[in-house]
Structure 1
Amino acid sequence: MTKQLIVRGAPQEYELKANAWDSLDVHLNRRNMKNILILHGERSWQAVKPYFPKLSITTSSHYYGGQCTDLAAENFASLCKKEQFDGIVAVGGGKVTDLGKFTAYKAHLPIIILPTLAATCAAYTPLSVIYNQASVMLRYDIFPKSNDLVLIDPEIILHSPRDLMIAGIGDTLAKWYESNVIISQLATKPLEVQVAEFAAKKSHEILLTQSHEALAAMDRKILNQAFIDVVEANILLAGMVGGFGDEYGRTAGAHSIHDALTVLPASHEQLHGNKVAYGILVQLMIENNLTEIKRLLPFYRQLHLPTNLADMNLKLTDLEFQAVAERACLPDEMIHLMKETITPDLIIEKMKALETFTQK
């Protein structure tokens, strides 16, 4: 073993139940928080504001600004110091959550997360994905402390946009393919890595067998166990893969392809999970695993996950293919954890091969 292996298994407290948000005041008082910053999204905040409980402490609510950047985190950390906040509550999706965690790290404050979506595992993991002002992904930062509390009300997520749940399924599906391509190279699997592998395999199983029933629950606005299982696959199980596996279970080819696509302004119209789902297929093409691609294509098409660039309304020039491939091959990109020797030429070849293969 040569890669990092530090276990960051779970938030300090995690709770999924009906009306979970109603207990927020109790949790804040237990932690002796008296003055908190509430970071929230825009449309999501308007949708969930009626569910947000009345609190017995001082609060200050702020729109997060639309992106998790170094500048935004610095600005909110300065605000925390100025207003003497003793905690942060992030209400929203992945980018709000990431900015909340990043700000909490900079301000040395506890972070409480109330997810409004199940589109990523951001609520569970002690890391943030950092972008620049132009929405190009720069890096992800891992923090030395777990999230303090995650409160999930499945009824709130039930009423979230369906396309974001589907994007979450695409993002989480990558956990198996990316972790497996790394873990399968190990002669001996430490127990921590076995836990990560179990979580990845279980999430893969749940998504392939229960996603349709979960999405039907969203259409009917009636909770069922499949919906709850998919929510927890996207948040809890997905978070466990990286939490226990660290670099053996975090990302590999699929996310490197996602990161590379962000250099294309036209790709910013696509949801994170959709680009990751496409990245899975590119990774499998690099592995020459056409059998698995064929197995996934019906599932992708039923959920309207993108199977190629054309499905994302992307038509790349030769220069754009080169830019994406070079970004995917940066020395610190996780795509190099694959056993294949990755080069820009190989990525361009496989991206083009995927277009042909999926459009037959």
Structure 2
Amino acid sequence: MSQPLIVRGAPQEYEINQHAWQLLPAHLNKRKLAKLLILHGDASWRAVQQYFPDVSDFAATFCYYGGQCTDVAADHFAGIAQEKQAEAIIAVGGGKVADLAKLTAFRLHLPIIILPTLAATCAAYTPLSVVYNEEGVMLRYDIFHKATDLVLIDPEIILHSPYELMVAGIGDTLAKWYEADAVISQLTVKAIEIQVAEFAAKKCRDLLLAESRSALQAMKNKTLNQAFIDVVETNILLAGMVGGFGDEYGRTSGAHSIHDALTELPQSHHLLHGNKVAYGILVQLMIEGKTEEIHRLLPFYRELQLPASLEEMGLNLTEAEFQTVGARAAEPNENIHFMKQTITSEVVVAAMKQLERLKA
């Protein structure tokens, strides 16, 4: 593998502490930003609106983002931003609203500020957007030349986010090590940037395996502890560092290609991103012949209730659907080909079927 390496290491400013959102007006004034387009979720906005700072001194337009990051949605909100003469775009919510806000801001060359309500992905940290079509099929991810301007994280807000989304975030972030290792382990010489990515990826795995239980217990108890804060930062900051420093050597390989392929199935669209990625980790490991590692992970999956099979995701695929998923995963532009194995549709389907037969 010989890919160009561009470091996009971090947002311009990142802060995590209780009441961090209340610092937003000061940050806006410091940047001399007065006109704002604020994109937010639906249920998440109802849950966190009371924590959102007073922006009555600014010309703020609030919009529900619509539920998906698509080119059509980005064009729509770009039009609203231009009409309102917005000077910045602010995202309040999870990964899809963050991705849509970034995509919209990039098209207009506007600053982007993100206040995450979840720790389900690293979207708040990374200068890229995952773009879907109107039917919910993943199309591509766009990488931007400019980092997010500001990320403000209040762990108390995330503590009260849906438990299942934190679990999915752990599944998504766990993939950072397995996907990066599949690529980086092929290198005979590792640039310093790649060493940083490898360190962050390994730290993701080790910290999640060690601290997820305590962090999730904190969510159940609605009481902050250090493990919870560590897992939040692992899912957002550490996970973002892997691709931020490793670029294509650290972003995705097998597990996310499996996720992307599953989006071809309409019956998978209700499943959480991180759960599909967690399943994809095991398919990737099966392709690599690492069944011992699968067995090492299965108790962790069982404890957190991450899906370890299609059956556990409620997916009963026909042979034609297996072929659809296999063909999509093995498309020439998919990052699964960064793995050292020769990947074909048949290889993917065989690994998926082997995983279904695997007994814990």
Shared fold (TM-score, shorter chain, > 0.5): yes
How far 1:320 moved relative to its partner?
Answer: 0.1
User: What is the letter of the counterpart of residue 338 of structure 2?
Assistant: L
User: What is the letter of the counterpart of residue 45 of structure 1?
Assistant: W
Instruction: Measure the CA separation in 2 of the matches of 1:157 and 1:84.
Output: 31
Instruction: Measure the CA separation in 2 of the matches of 1:205 and 1:340.
Output: 25
> Which residue is equivalent to 2:108?
107
2:269 partner SS? helix
> Which residue is equivalent to 2:268?
267
> Which residue is equivalent to 1:41?
41
1:60 partner SS? strand
Instruction: Measure the CA separation in 1 of the matches of 2:346 and 2:232.
Output: 38
Structure 2 unaligned residues grouped into runs of 5+ = none
2:177 partner SS? helix
> Which residue is equivalent to 2:195?
194
User: What is the letter of the counterpart of residue 158 of structure 1?
Assistant: L
User: What is the letter of the counterpart of residue 98 of structure 1?
Assistant: D
> Which residue is equivalent to 1:130?
131
User: What is the letter of the counterpart of residue 42 of structure 2?
Assistant: E
Percent of paired sites with the same residue: 66
Instruction: Measure the CA separation in 2 of the matches of 1:238 and 1:44.
Output: 22
How far 1:48 moved relative to its partner?
Answer: 0.1
Provide the alpha-carbon RMSD of the alignment: 0.7
Deviation per residue, 1:290-325 (Å, 9 max, x gap): 100000000000000000000000000000000000
1:87 aligns with 2:88: yes
1:276 aligns with 2:289: no
How far 1:30 moved relative to its partner?
Answer: 0.5
> Which residue is equivalent to 1:330?
331
Moved over 2 A (4+): none
> Which residue is equivalent to 1:177?
178
> Which residue is equivalent to 1:53?
53
User: What is the letter of the counterpart of residue 338 of structure 1?
Assistant: M
User: What is the letter of the counterpart of residue 99 of structure 1?
Assistant: L
How far 1:107 moved relative to its partner?
Answer: 1.2
1:269 partner SS? coil
* TM-score normalised to structure 1 length: 0.99
> Which residue is equivalent to 1:147?
148
User: What is the letter of the counterpart of residue 27 of structure 1?
Assistant: H
How far 1:203 moved relative to its partner?
Answer: 1.0
2:331 partner SS? coil
Instruction: Measure the CA separation in 1 of the matches of 2:142 and 2:50.
Output: 33
> Which residue is equivalent to 2:22?
22
How far 1:4 moved relative to its partner?
Answer: 2.0
User: What is the letter of the counterpart of residue 271 of structure 1?
Assistant: L
> Which residue is equivalent to 1:321?
322
Structure 1 unaligned residues grouped into runs of 5+ = none
Instruction: Measure the CA separation in 2 of the matches of 1:112 and 1:145.
Output: 12
Instruction: Measure the CA separation in 2 of the matches of 1:83 and 1:170.
Output: 39
Instruction: Measure the CA separation in 1 of the matches of 2:287 and 2:325.
Output: 15
How far 1:108 moved relative to its partner?
Answer: 1.1
Instruction: Measure the CA separation in 2 of the matches of 1:348 and 1:182.
Output: 21
> Which residue is equivalent to 1:241?
242
> Which residue is equivalent to 1:76?
77
How far 1:132 moved relative to its partner?
Answer: 0.2
User: What is the letter of the counterpart of residue 11 of structure 1?
Assistant: P
